[in-house]
Amino acid sequence: MADTGPGPHVDDTERAALYRILALRRDCRHFTPRPCLPDDQLERLLCAAHQAPSVGMMQPWRFMRLSTPAWRARLVPLVEAERQATAQELGERGTEFLRLKVEGIRDCAELLAVILAPDDGTVFGRRSMPAEMAWASAACAVQNLWLAARAENLGLGWVSMFDPVALAQELGLPPGAKPFGLLCLGPVPAFYEAPMLEQEGWRKRAPLQDILWAPSAPPEPPAS
């Protein structure tokens, strides 16, 4: 492929590797129990997360390492309480839901909390949608971490089943900080061939054409 301008260029091999990692990424729930990751490997992964884009370069993500047995024991009941509440909310699908594995907190090598930091007042790019752009920016860091983990042949599972107020209290977060994920990270016995919820028949990925919306034609400008 011809160069398109100055700066580092991505070659065909690198491009193919990125698309392959995107396709192979999975939200993992089954982990191989093992000790914590080597410090240098965890640092690489967190550096990848910290390279994420953010609106106005606000960098609202924060991570807490909660991999000790004591932290795991404290957090499991919060997730289980929300799991049971979700089953109740699902009505007739509740029993089916309870058969699904929704977290790997006990087994993963590393347990991380991802937190939205207190608002720093950034206006650039988020004046009209301040909360939405903060959440979206922090989610980009999680996606970076997810893809980096897959490139290291590690699984990552994003657990969102908890009461955020209760979790914030458990973690002793400062006012304005909000937890929005417990991330289970580590080796897995195997990567799912397809997303787990798809494999289990819970839901399927929508066809690409279903997510492409065509805008209606804009009104004609007034005659001069």
Domains in the chain: boundaries? 26-193
Give the pTM: 0.93
Which option is the CATH number for 26-193: 3.40.50.1000, 3.10.580.10, 3.40.109.10, 3.40.50.150? 3.40.109.10
DSSP letters, 35-103, are PPPPHHHHHHHHHHHHT---GGG---EEEEE--SHHHHHHHHHHHHHHHHHHHHHTGGGHHHHHTS---
pLDDT, tens digit, 9 for 90 and up, residues 83-121: 999 999 999 999 999 999 999 999 999 999 999 999 999
Q: Which of 75, 46, 35 is nearest to 187 (CA)?
A: 35
pLDDT, tens digit, 9 for 90 and up, residues 160-219: 999 999 999 999 999 999 999 999 999 999 999 999 999 999 999 999 999 999 998 888
Instruction: State how far Cα 50 lies from the chain centre.
Output: 13
